[in-house]
Amino acid sequence: QRNHAKLPVGSAFFSALLGLLSAALEVLDGIDTAAASGRAPEHDQDAALNVDILALRGRIAKQRFVEARATDDSRIAHLSDAIDRYEEAYEAAGANLSLRYYPGINIVGLLARADQSGVKTNARASFTTMIEKVDEALDAVKGSEAGFHWWQATKAETAIPRGRYDEFATLVHALVNGQKTPEERKREAAALDRIRQGAYFQTLPAIDTCSADAFVLNSFHRQLMEVWNVDGISDPKLANPVMVLRQALLKRHGGSLEFDTTILRTIDRRVQQGVFGDEGPAPLKWVLKGIERAKSVGAVLAQDPYLGWRRIGTGFLMRMENGNEHHFLTNQHVIGAGIGALRIRFETVDECKKSRISSLVWLSEAHDAALLKLEGVPDGVPGLEFHTDLPELEIGADPPRVYAIGHTNGEQLHMSLQDNELLDHEGDSGLPPTAPVRLHYRTPTRPGNSGSPIFAQHGWALIGLHRAALKQDGGLGLTLSGNRHYNEANEGVSISSINSAMLSSAGFSMKRATPD
């Protein structure tokens, strides 16, 4: 979708329904009905809106194709339907070249997918002809639109099938950093030098407000992943610009990234094969460190008499000061009344092996924490070490970022890199040493994330154990320190406070990480 700010309410509402494709189609049908009855005559008068509405139908068909299983007989039909719909939008654009390149590039991408899948289509133009037409349209409007985000994203897409990776990288950087004055371009050149020196993820430089927002970057990233099969991993030549795009997404309000177990395993396998060499790009290094952390995260399984083993929560393997191995930390409420019928599975490393629980080592209702001893774990599952210091919260400054890794809604493991903020914590409140120290944060946690580890952005430092989602309407809302107030938050308990209580009551300790 493009030019979304111009769409009427009904069409804009469509954007929120992309995960509900049938509902989205009903919205578009309603818009068409209103236009036909004369209640919305502006649709017939505005060519841009007409092209957008037609292209949105292509978007629905494209998403159905992407989400269909490889064995689904309807998959090819969805692909053909998507091409047909985008061709309708392309024809509706007429001689308006600024409207033609968006449906055009989607036709190009889908024709490429059809060729990869060995599918014959009834497309009116060949891949070669269509990509040339898209190039012509982009070049024709370059003078007026070269600084616009959709133009930059589309131009970047045309570079992929031709193997123009340097051009792709240049356009991604332009998209991320926006349109600059000559003075800004000089500063940008210096910033690119810092990127090459490996400081991009660590420093997270500010990005101009004129840059592409989360909607644009999310759309572009989704197109790369779903249509062009560009994951930033399979082809090392694309790794740096794709990871820079992902870093920019994390900086945007509302930006989101998710890696499931399949992607995590693929990335890890590529690393083991030495695909990226010893000196990978800095953004990639940061993501790889998070993936290494994900190996320590396991699903808590319970057996259903009808459904078999199902995921009921999350936890993670911890290293212990005394050298004992196979200790697993999760929530007290996750294990419930007993541990005998539970199993632990580290799916990033081994999706089949289920580890038995040999004993309950320590339990705290106040901290909502339970430490379990496992009989064994698959090779390659590392234990985590915790950090004692919580990120500083400065009044008036941007909140620090935190990240959760867990089994959302009982599904396979997800590493969510979203618009996460540490809202507040009790680290400086002078609580007794053994009292639970709470953290409040915004992360995309849902049922099944109970027991997930919470990591600080810098160095993926383990700081918390997720336990609940909170909501309070009216009044002053939620707060821990009194410095910030909010109506919704996720709550966790600092690992350091859990360890202090464990050391006091049981005499043993989890391992602290060495300060950077």
Query: Could you give the C-alpha distances from 352 to 180, 222, 299, 378, in angstroms and in order?
Result: 52, 30, 12, 10
Classify residue 152: in a domain, yes or no.
no
Residues 260, 303, single domain; the answer is: no
In sequence order, which ranges of 197-304 are alpha helices (DSSP H)?
200-203, 214-226, 239-251, 261-272, 282-294
Check if the beta carbon of residue 100 is closer than 8 Å to that of residue 133. Answer: yes
pLDDT at 293: 92
Give residue 362's domain range.
295-374
Band (205; pLDDT cuts 50, 70, 90): very low
Residues 168, 133, single domain; the answer is: no
Q: Please report which helix (H) or strand (E) contains residue 193, including its range.
A: helix 182-196
Task: State pLDDT tens for residues 222-240.
Answer: 899 889 988 776 777 887 8
Q: What are the tokens at 102?
A: 């968006």
Classify residue 454: in a domain, yes or no.
yes
Q: Using the 3D structure, point to which of 211, 246, 281 is the last residue of a domain.
A: 281
Residue 40 has pLDDT above 60, yes or no: no
Residues facing 468 on adjacent strands: 491
Q: For the chain, give the mean pLDDT.
A: 80
Classify residue 288: in a domain, yes or no.
no
**What CATH number is attached to the domain comprising 343?**
2.40.10.10
Classify residue 244: in a domain, yes or no.
yes
Query: Crossing angle, helix 239-251 and helix 165-177, to 10 degrees?
Result: 10
Check if the beta carbon of residue 452 is closer than 8 Å to that of residue 406. Answer: yes
Classify residue 40: in a domain, yes or no.
yes
358: which residues sit within 8 A by CB, 6+ positions away?
373, 374, 375
Long-range Cβ pairs for the range 202-211 (8 Å, 24+): 202/282, 202/286, 202/458, 204/247, 204/251, 204/457, 207/176, 207/177, 207/178, 207/248, 207/251, 207/252, 208/177, 208/178, 208/180, 208/184, 210/178, 210/179, 211/149, 211/175, 211/176, 211/177, 211/178, 211/248
Classify residue 469: in a domain, yes or no.
yes
Q: Using the 3D structure, point to which of 145, 168, 193 is the last residue of a domain.
A: 145
Query: Could you give the C-alpha distances from 422 to 46, 128, 393, in angstroms and in order?
Result: 44, 49, 8
Check if the beta carbon of residue 454 is closer than 8 Å to that of residue 466. Answer: yes
Q: How far apart are CA 273 and CA 291, in angstroms?
A: 16
Check if the beta carbon of residue 326 is closer than 8 Å to that of residue 373. Answer: yes
Residues 5, 110, single domain; the answer is: yes
**How far separated are the first and last CA of the chain, in Å rounded?**
44
Residues 304, 206, single domain; the answer is: no
Side chain identity, residue 512: R
Band (425; pLDDT cuts 50, 70, 90): very high
pLDDT at 353: 93
Residues 2, 105, single domain; the answer is: yes
Residues 349, 308, single domain; the answer is: yes
Q: Give the SS3 label for residue 327.
A: strand
Residue 492 has pLDDT above 90, yes or no: yes
pLDDT at 12: 42
Band (90; pLDDT cuts 50, 70, 90): very high
Residue 328 has pLDDT above 80, yes or no: yes
Q: How far apart are CA 132 and CA 136, in angstroms?
A: 6
Residues 259, 342, single domain; the answer is: no
Residues 134, 18, single domain; the answer is: yes
pLDDT at 262: 66
Band (332; pLDDT cuts 50, 70, 90): very high
Task: Name the domain count of the chain.
Answer: 4
Residues 267, 307, single domain; the answer is: no
Q: Average of pLDDT values for 61-70?
A: 85
Classify residue 514: in a domain, yes or no.
no
Q: Average of pLDDT values for 94-99?
A: 90
Is the pLDDT higher at 406 or at 206? 406
Nearest to 77 by CA among 88, 68, 86: 68
Residues 27, 3, single domain; the answer is: yes
Residues 208, 314, single domain; the answer is: no
The least confident of 122-131, 223-232, 256-265, 289-298 is 256-265
Classify residue 513: in a domain, yes or no.
no
Residue 63 has pLDDT above 60, yes or no: yes
Q: What are the tokens at 434?
A: 């053994």
Q: Using the 3D structure, point to which of 145, 179, 212 is the last residue of a domain.
A: 145
Q: How far apart are CA 463 and CA 386, in angstroms?
A: 6
Q: What are the tokens at 415?
A: 């590493």
Task: State pLDDT tens for residues 440-460.
Answer: 998 766 665 899 999 998 889
Residues 224, 254, single domain; the answer is: yes
Cβ-based neighbour number of residue 373 at 10 Å:
17
274: which residues sit within 8 A by CB, 6+ positions away?
none
Q: What are the tokens at 36?
A: 């036909």
